[in-house]
């Protein structure tokens, strides 16, 4: 796996890992760049967007940046103006463009959240209220907040057990994945964890 900056959300985790992708002038995606380690003779692969500046020992020159997600989604192309970039460091001169890609990915995860099965308003409101109360409690009594978090964990395990078993009975893995907003591999792990069965079944 190559090195590059990535982002995830707490809820969707590795199912939606975002990063800044690179496009060349012909519209293709450049290969990873191998960076040798002189001392050991080995090296590592890098695909961080800022290395594609066309410089000596670096990758080919990027024509555009775009947000990409591990789910296969790609954001709109953000063109790079090399007349403006000039001889500057790409990591600095194109930072605003890369930040735009981050915002595009944020909008994508918001779409994922909207497409997941909605929670009843009462449940959503209770979860938000509970989080706020626990954050206040943590500031005044960390141990009480820790006990409450442990109680929540126990409750989640108890409720999740039957939810996982009934969910697997009533829906396919694909349908469960769509409801949770996660990929099938992560969905199988979630079902197995709450249902207490082997993920390899």
How does pLDDT run across 169-201, given as a tens digit for each residue?
Answer: 999 999 999 999 999 999 999 999 999 999 877
- CB contact burial 40-71 (16+ within 10 A = b; e otherwise): eeeeeebbbbbbbbeeeeebbbbbbbbbbbbb
Average pLDDT by consecutive 10-residue portion of the chain (201 residues)? 88 97 97 79 86 85 97 98 90 96 98 97 97 97 98 96 96 97 96 92 70
Take residue 68 and report the two structure tokens written for it: 């990409």
Is-contact 9 18, C-beta < 8 A?
no
Domain segments of the chain as ranges:
13-115, 121-195
Model pTM score: 0.88
Cα separation of 22 and 10, whole Å? Answer: 26
| CA-wise closest residue to 74 among 29, 26, 9 | 29
């Amino acid at each position: 796996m190559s090195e590059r900056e990535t982002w995830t959300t707490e809820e969707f985790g590795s199912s939606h890992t975002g990063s800044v992708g690179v496009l060349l002038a012909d519209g293709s995606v450049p290969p990873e760049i191998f960076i040798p380690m002189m001392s050991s003779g080995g090296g590592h692969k890098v695909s961080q967007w800022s290395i594609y500046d066309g410089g000596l020992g670096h990758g080919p020159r990027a024509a555009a940046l775009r947000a990409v997600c591990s789910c296969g989604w790609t954001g709109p192309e953000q063109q790079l103006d090399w007349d403006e970039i000039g001889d500057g460091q790409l990591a600095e001169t194109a930072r605003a463009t890369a930040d735009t890609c981050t915002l595009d990915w944020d909008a994508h995860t918001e779409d994922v959240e909207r497409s997941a099965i909605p929670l009843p308003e009462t449940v959503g409101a209770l979860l938000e209220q509970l989080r706020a109360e626990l954050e206040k409690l943590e500031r005044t009594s960390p141990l009480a907040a820790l006990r409450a978090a442990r109680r929540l964990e126990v409750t989640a395990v108890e409720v999740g057990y039957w939810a996982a078993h009934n969910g697997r009975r009533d829906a396919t893995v694909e349908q469960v994945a769509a409801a949770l907003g996660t990929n099938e591999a992560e969905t199988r792990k979630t079902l197995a964890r709450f249902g207490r069965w082997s993920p390899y079944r």
